[in-house]
Amino acid sequence: MIDAHTQIYGILGRPVAHSLSPAMHNAAFRELGINAVYAAFPVTDLKEAVAGLRGLGIQGVSVTIPFKEEIIPLIDELDPQAARMGAVNTVVRREERLIGYNTDWLGALKALEEKVEIAGKRFLILGAGGAARAMVFAILEKGGQAAVTDLDTAKALALSREFWVEVVSPGRLEEYPAAVLINATPVGLAPEAEAIPLEPQLLDRFELVMDIVYRPLETRLLREAKTRGCRTIDGLQMLIHQGAAQFEMWTGQTAPVDVMARAAYRALGVEI
């Protein structure tokens, strides 16, 4: 029950109405009996929003598109891993200071490690934005090899220079000998659910395909991959694990991951 002692958390983004994070975090607070609430905050002015966090004493927030890079100069301190990735998806209030972290890479790592041994494997990542940065960081941390591709060549080259990974031309994807494909773009997101980020016939050579899109839960990319015998990872897996890491940073308690997962899948009409 919300009262004068309820701690407030939330997510900053534009848009955020579709976010499953409120369902996940509020389920976790209820499970552990924590007097806290998590809300979605649609942001029109990020600078004013961050000032609002300070003025209202909000304890922590998630940060999503398009603010993961823009928020960096507005907070007081940056975790070294977030600094390396150049993106923040988690802000924690420590006394009067706002500290930025990145748990996206932890979510990516957990999701991948449940299905594949990363060390020594080659990964092809579609996209060169914030999610791709998290993927690259996670893969390199565990001894894997990664290559990125993006229609925005300059963006891909910038990521390549920062992490020393290979850039593959969108027209030559079949030439990179990867075992795992990761879609780190919004291609396939509803309402464009039948869109696919590469030609389906190129999926034949991958053993595992991961998509960060979770609306719909089974994207066309994942459907096509399954028909070709690939194992798959849906977009909720990364979301759940990065959210669990956030919860632990904010509360200091072990996240009830199973509870958070059930809440996230239930919000999409799926019981697990």
**Residues classed as catalytic:** 68
Number of neighbouring beta carbons within 10 Å of residue 26: 17
DSSP class of residue 27 equals H
d(CA 86, CA 72): 8
Here the tokens at position 74 are 């507005």
CB atoms within 10 A of CB 174: 13
d(CA 40, CA 17): 7
